[in-house]
A and B are shown apart, each in its own frame.
Chain A
Amino acid sequence: MTLGVGVLATGVAAAEREEHFSAFVASHRERARRLAWRLIGGDEAAAEDILQDAFVKAYRGLKSFRGDASLETWFYRILVRQAHNYRRWCAVRDLWSGSRNDPSPPSGAELGDPGLRRRIASALTQLSRRQREAFILVHLEGFTVQECADLLGKPTGTIKSHLHRALTTLRAELIDLQGPRKE
């Protein structure tokens, strides 16, 4: 279900707003969780925490939401920022503790090859923040370049540049994934 801009805006009755917000959560929960998981490097528990925080912030901020952007863009912007804050917090924590965490913790590793997943997570850390976010949003999550630009608050040209560089770097880092695809 996709919500219109005005559905959750001010002036709508609280009960109706809550009902629509529940529908919004139900329709975006899975995609948003996957996005958070990819943005933070594959920690399932942390991804769920970030998603909860993003939903809570969005809910509390509904009164101030003026419909300048679509509700989805607004929500995903909050989510990307939450994920970034989490990564930054992890970096500070690692700096203070003098250790470096594995970029791909084992949680959620029931599917696929955990080793490959770790390598992809490690390759993604080679990218700059914006390159990584643009690559994940556009190539892995299917956002358009325009949506990604709105979400990150950057011009489309900058996003295209990030995408190009990210793809080049990742192909060089993960060269063994470029062979013929095994079905």
Chain B
Amino acid sequence: MSAKREPNVCSPEEADFIHRVADLYAPPPMTPTQRTAFDAALEKRLSRGARVSFLRPVAVVATACTAVLVWFTIQRQSVFLPTGAPSSEVVIVAPEDATTGVEDATLLTYAYYDPEFYGEESDEDNEEDEQFLPDEYEALATALAFPDT
């Protein structure tokens, strides 16, 4: 009957083998220069980490605000800018006596939000509307070759 030996309690041969492995498989110790460089790099990383952790909430809020601002700007531009393929809900209508930009913007806003204002869209409506478009728009549309103009 063999006595059960604790695996971590080694025989002399095993202990000798382990010592050899430990001696052979080890890095050279750090030189004082390496130690100094290591400590300096660590200190730099720790201080940078503290700064980053302080700025993180600020960065999150700033990013969120920027995203909202960009989204809002894009939404506004999609209402006021003419597009090549107008959707079924948005029709740009320029009245005969449209004079100022403010009035145009107001009309366009009504046109966007009030379906009764523009009614059903048809090709005839589009053709009729194009008669009221300024010459500059027609020139631009021709130059850019909007598919529906």
Give chain A's interface residues, CB within 8 Å of chain B.
Answer: 25, 29-30, 33-34, 37-38, 42, 44, 47-48, 51-52, 55-56, 59-60, 108, 110-113, 116-117, 120-121, 124, 138-140, 145, 160-161, 163-164, 167, 170-171, 174, 177-178, 181
0/1 interface trace, chain B 23-44, chain A, CB 8 Å (1 if under): 1111111100001001101100
- B137 interface contact, C-beta 8 A: no
Q: Which of A34, A56, A117, A140 contacts B18 (CB 8 A)?
A: A140
Interface of B is mostly: helix
Q: Do A160 and B8 contact each other (CB < 8 Å), given the known contacts A56-B42, A177-B21? A: yes
Question: What number of B residues sit within 8 Å (CB to CB) of A?
Answer: 30
Q: Is the CB of A52 within 8 A of B21?
A: no
The distance in angstroms between the C-alpha atoms of A140 and B27, with both chains bound, is 12
Min distance, Cβ B68 to any Cβ of chain A, angstroms = 31
Which of chain B's residues have a CB closer than 8 A to the CB of A38?
25-26
The distance in angstroms between the C-alpha atoms of A167 and B65, with both chains bound, is 60
The distance in angstroms between the C-alpha atoms of A52 and B49, with both chains bound, is 12
The distance in angstroms between the C-alpha atoms of A122 and B86, with both chains bound, is 68
Task: Report the nearest B residue to A160, measured CB to CB.
Answer: B7
Spot the interface stretch: B9-17, B91-99, B122-130: B9-17
Most buried by A among B7, B23, B53: B7
Q: List 27 A-B contacts (CB under 8 A).
A: A25-B42, A29-B30, A29-B35, A29-B38, A30-B29, A30-B30, A33-B30, A34-B27, A38-B25, A51-B38, A52-B38, A52-B45, A56-B42, A60-B53, A108-B28, A110-B28, A112-B24, A121-B25, A140-B21, A140-B26, A160-B8, A167-B17, A170-B21, A174-B21, A177-B21, A178-B13, A178-B16
Q: Is the CB of A56 within 8 A of B49?
A: yes
The distance in angstroms between the C-alpha atoms of A140 and B30, with both chains bound, is 18
Which of chain A's residues have a CB closer than 8 A to the CB of B21?
120, 139-140, 170, 174, 177
Q: Is the CB of A56 within 8 A of B46?
A: yes
Which of chain A's residues have a CB closer than 8 A to the CB of B55?
none
Q: Do A140 and B6 contact each other (CB < 8 Å), given the known contacts A52-B42, A177-B20? A: no
Taking A140-B25, A163-B7 as known contacts, 12 extra A-B pairs with beta carbons closer than 8 A to each other, sorted by chain A number, are A33-B27, A37-B27, A55-B42, A55-B46, A111-B26, A111-B28, A116-B24, A139-B22, A160-B8, A177-B17, A178-B13, A181-B16
Q: Is the CB of B41 within 8 A of A52?
A: yes
